[in-house]
Amino acid sequence: ELCEITNEIDEVATKASKAMGGGILGIDIMEDEKRGFVVHEVNNTVEFKGLARVARRNIPKEMVEYALNYVRK
């Protein structure tokens, strides 16, 4: 099901991405009653089949655009 990306989720994911050097990453986040959102895994390969079914954005297209823009720099 669709999960709205809140400012808090965005902040946690951004910090995890920066810690890993950025790029296209799969960041798994869980919610803990006491600690809030917690990253429990960061993957350098991503599977987005399930996400693509509910996302409002075209994830594969954005991944390709990101990669093309990265190599053009």
The reported pLDDT for the residue numbered 46 is 87
43-59: string of b/e by CB count within 10 Å (b at 16+)?
eeeeeeeeeeeeeeeee
pLDDT of residue 40: 94
- Nearest CA to 25 out of 66, 58, 56, 57 is that of 66
Structural contact between residues 3 and 12, judged by C-beta atoms closer than 8 angstroms: no
Q: Across-strand partners of 30? A: 38
Cβ(51)–Cβ(26) below 8 Å: no
**pLDDT at residue 3 in the model:** 83
10-residue stretch averages of pLDDT, the chain, 73 residues long:
89 97 94 95 88 86 94 91
> pTM, whole model, 2 decimals?
0.81
